[in-house]
Amino acid sequence: MEWPKTREEMIAAQEALAAASPGPWELPRRELLFGGCYVCFGRGSSGPGKAGDPGWAAAALTRGIEIVRIATVEGLAGAPYEAGLLGLREGPLLEAAVRALPALPDVLLVNATGRDHPRRAGLALHLGAILGVPTVGVTHRTLVAVGEWPEDRAGATSPVTIDGEVVGYWLRTQRGARPLVVHAAWRTDAETAGAVVLAADGSARTPEPLRIARQAARLARQEAISG
């Protein structure tokens, strides 16, 4: 499976992925190899950016509190930012970063939505389908779904829905901190998404594999820009 190149191709691919029925994945009772991936682009531009913007993507593998490996890649944005079509801009870079790891993770955390999407197939879901890896989306806000924040207690959740369908949860990883949205994505439902984030969590608000990948991508950008 390859990434679509045009807006029309992306919409068609998302509609096909939304209708697909891959086997569901559940969090196993064993130590897992978690993955996280993140991409950032050059500073200074305003608006949605453009195709060809320089970008830096990183992927991290963790096992418990151990960092197994971090991989970074540099490349170009495939398109300007457009809500619901993030894969055109970021997808190939994120795939390249994950494939640069020595092994694919058991489950991958992606800074993007999954079923919370106008066509029910956001970047977190699309990336998982291309890699053949179960995925969970983690974002700071919803895209289309609605739902109230959970109580102020670590581990508290509350559903986010689209037309009555639960597509994710608000999840408070720390007491007193803003909750995250955890998204059902490729082969995962909303309940599994929440369980994965809690299992992968460290001492920070953001799940550890995703936090490490974010830090690595930003460091790669800083080093490239500073020369």
- Token pair, residue 145, equals 């779904």
Query: Does residue 204 carry a pLDDT above 90?
Result: no
The pLDDT mean for the chain works out to 95
Mean pLDDT confidence for 65-79 = 96
For residue 15, is pLDDT > 70?
yes
84-126 residue pLDDT tens: 999 999 999 999 999 999 999 999 999 999 999 999 999 999 9
Q: Which pLDDT does position 46 carry in this prediction?
A: 66
CATH architecture type of domain 32-226: 2-Layer Sandwich (3.30)
- Rounded Cα gap, residues 9 and 76, in angstroms: 19
165-200: pLDDT as tens digits: 999 999 999 999 999 999 999 999 999 999 999 999
C-alpha 188: how far from its chain's center? Answer: 13
For the chain, give every domain's residue range: 32-226
Q: Residue 202's pLDDT is what?
A: 65
**The two structure tokens encoding residue 138:** 């983690």
